Amino acid sequence: MLKYKLVLAGQSGVGKSSLIARFCDNVFHEKTKSTIGVAFKKKTINIDNKIDIELNIWDFGGEERYRTLFPSYCNGASAAFLVYDTTDKESLNDIENWAKIIDENAPENVVKVIVGTKIDLEDQRVITKADIKKFCEVFNCIGDPIETSSKTGENVEKAFLNIARLIIFTFLQACKNCGQIFAKKLKICKHCGDSVEAQAISQ
């Protein structure tokens, strides 16, 4: 089983824990306590009926006192969600701090995606798509940002499947000889043992 580490970063109260709960357990609680320190969940997902991967999902408390823990957990991360609350302008500005920590401590090819929450509160929205696009460009995020609602479930699975596909595209390749999937960092196919040309996996 291919396993990849995904970290969720963002200001306290943006809905990181609710996002994970909806994706992993398909539940939503109106009142969710702030994460104390670090929380962990994992889920196996199938991509396009071709590849099974296990996402090891790390949720970090967004309060200032817990940020000292974050750098060490970025080590070995394959991907990161930079999470903001569509009803809170400051939560988007705060992404800059989290992005810098990720860039300084995670592997160079870490996949970063910006994810918005609480789109069910449309009448309270204060962040525009133009605001988000600017942040994507500044922090070299991959793909388009995805906005979600943990309450209704809208786009939650889409967000996780999207980053899983980006992980596969970034870290895996298909052997042209036997057709099996193996890590891009390997020079020899671990399935057929041949040193063969490989081709990128389409997104």
Distances (CA, A) of 87 to 45, 70, 168: 30, 25, 32
Per-residue pLDDT of the chain (203 residues; tens, 9 = 90+): 899 999 999 998 999 999 999 999 999 987 766 665 688 999 999 998 888 999 999 998 767 777 788 899 899 999 999 999 999 999 999 999 999 999 999 999 999 999 999 999 999 999 988 888 888 888 889 888 999 999 999 999 999 999 999 999 999 988 888 888 888 888 888 889 888 665 666 65
The amino acid occupying position 45 is I
Phi, psi of 52 (to 5 degrees): -100, 130
Task: Mention every residue, 6+ apart, whose C-beta is less than 8 A from residue 54.
Answer: 1, 2, 3, 4, 42, 43, 44, 45
pLDDT given at position 196: 64
Which structural domains are found in the chain, ordered by start? 2-172 (3.40.50.300)
- Write out pLDDT tens, residues 49-82: 888 999 999 998 767 777 788 899 899 999 999 9
